[in-house]
Structure formats: structure tokens, C-alpha cells
Amino acid sequence: MEYRRLGASGLMVPALSFGAGTIGGRGPLFGAWGTTDAREARRLVDICLDAGVTLFDTADVYSAGASEEVLGQAIKGRRDRVLVSTKTGLPTGDGPGDAGTSRSRLIAACEDALRRLGTDHIDLFQLHAFDAGTPVDEVLDALDILVRAGKVRYTGVSNFSGWQLMKSLAAADRLGRPRHVAHQVYYSLVGRDYEWELLPLARDQGLGALVWSPLGWGRLTGRVRRGTPLPPGSRLHGTADYGPPVDDEHLYRVVDVLDEIARETGRAVPQIALNWLLRRPTVSSVIIGARDERQLRQNLGAVGWSLTPEQVARLDAASHRPAPYPYFPYERQEGFARLNPPVFAAPERAA
């Protein structure tokens, strides 16, 4: 397993990490992701550690805290061998204090997460959403309290827009508070919006991307293809509306190229999609999920080899979408491009 720095921090993380959304699944969304119990979860953790996957990502909203609880049981007795990442900020109830990132909620949410995980510290504590109702200074003050108390080692965010993230980083610099080192983002061959604003921001500000849903919300598993119905067991039947939308023709165009490269390389479609992501600038770790041992082992096969430049170029071309405003002038006109070079002008990091 390759290890990379998480952004500009000193924390080393594996190129692949494990997403615990499939653990302890409850409810219409997370139940469809997976219902892995503590015994099964411990087996998956065993496989991850044997492969060098040491970062495990969860959130308080995953199955109403059950994901954190089951993950805590699965890593019991080997906490010193793993990194734990969790998130808070999304609604976990109907009460007035059950959402957002106020000082009160952040401190309480951290204490609750520590209890459920059965640990005394969280390696990476992330804001799951931007809270426009709470001053950024208050949010950073609360995170600073947790870091100084030793309950949180590093902080990050998830699903922030560019201005929201930059506002937080500027305030941290102004106040002398710890800067966020990670941004957990959606990024895949069928969802490349991250590249237009958030990737250049991350490269400029020293943020590492933790990629969620790298297989396009289950669309790049190799089971979804042009002219065929969704497989009976696909979670897309019940969860498609929860995830990022993808135009069918765009999806099939990408899958056609993935199938071609799968035949050329002897690799599975998901392995190719994950390997492509591992080459992208700012990506510190790609979060893989698995409902069972077979899926996990297949996804772990995304490392230890590289696509050829020609194969990468074909995937880039198939997955390309026109740039949105205000970025399309930079993409289409040479004069703008000299002022704002394409995000991939710098040498890419090999997987």
C-alpha cells in the first residue's frame, strides 16, 4: 500500500481507505448500503490491515450512530494500528440542537462519537456540511478546544463549496486556529465537478482530498451497462435519488471505455475506475466501501499497478464534460489558459 500525506499536514494516510457506511446499516439509505455486523466488520478490518489500509471513515449520521458503534467494536484491541475519521454536522434528530456546527453541538458530537467508537481521540474530525447559521469563528474556536484537549488530532470538512472552504481557512489564519487539512469530496469518472474549483483550491491551500463514492454511487461496479436493466441486487434501485445524478448516455460512454480497458488489462471495471482516481492531483486517499469480503478484495486490487498514459487519456476523453461558467473561458481560449493553467498542467502523481 502506498501512503501519502494528508494535504500539507504531517499525517500519512493510505492511498485507499475504508468507508464504514456499510457497517451497521439501518434505514432506507444505509440499510441498502449494507448491514455488516460487528463480527463481519472485524473480518473486513482484518483484511484491510493485512493490505495496509489503516484509515477508517465513518460519521454520526451513518445509521444513527450504529456505524461508529460497530466500527468501534471491530477495531477494539488494535486502536494503535488504525486511524479513525468521523464527521458531524448533518441533522441527527428533530431537536433544535440536533444539526449544525455550533460550539455546543460540536463538543457534544465529539464526546458522543468518542463514546460510540470506544476511543479517547479521533484522528480526523470533519464538518459534514457548512453551517451558514453559525459564525465561522465559533466553529473554529470549538475545534481548537477539542484539538487542545487531545480529543481531535486533525480537522477537515466535507462537501463545502469553494467560498465556504476558503472563508474557513482564511479565518483560521486570522485567528491562529488549526487549519483544515482535508476535504472529503465526491469525485469519480462520472462526476468530475471537483476539478473546476475545489481541486485548484486544494492544491493552492494544501488540502488533501478524501474521495467518497469513487464508483459513482455504484454505477461503475461493472454491473451497469448500456442496453441492460439494473441487476436485481443493485442498491441503485432504492438509493439512486439520494446520490449525485448522472446522465445515462454519459455513464454508458464511460463504461464502454472501462470495458475496453478491462479486456486489455485483465482488471475489473471498479479497479480501473479507482486506479484512475489515484492518479489525480490532490487526492490523498480514495474511500472504498464493501458489503462483503469479495467486494473488499476486488477494490483492494486497484493498487500496485498503473494505467498507461494512453488508457488514462481515453478515460479522460470519455468522462470529460464542458466546463461550467465561469470556468469555460479558461478551457476554450488560449489567452485565458495562460493566466489560469489547466488543473492537470502539473505532473500527475502516479498511483
Please list the active-site residues.
62
Residue 303, classified by CB atoms within 10 Å of its CB into exposed (0-12), middle (13-18) or buried (19+), is buried
Cis peptide before 326 (omega within 30 of 0): yes
Q: Please say whether the beta carbons of 95 and 108 come within 8 A.
A: no
Residue 4, classed as helix, strand or coil, is: strand
**How many C-beta atoms surround the C-beta of residue 20 within 10 A?**
30
What CA dihedral angle connects 295, 298, 303 and 308, to 10 degrees?
-120
**How wide is the angle at C-alpha 141 spanned by C-alphas 87 and 211, nearest 5°?**
30
Query: How many Å apart are CA 169 and CA 158, to the nearest integer?
Result: 14
Q: Please say whether the beta carbons of 211 and 283 come within 8 A.
A: yes
Query: How many Å apart are CA 249 and CA 350, to the nearest integer?
Result: 30
Query: How many Å apart are CA 263 and CA 259, to the nearest integer?
Result: 6
Residue 127 one-letter amino acid: L
**Straight-line distance from the first to the last Cα atom of the chain, in angstroms, rounded to the nearest whole number:** 10
Backbone angles phi, psi at 270, to 5 degrees: -60, -35
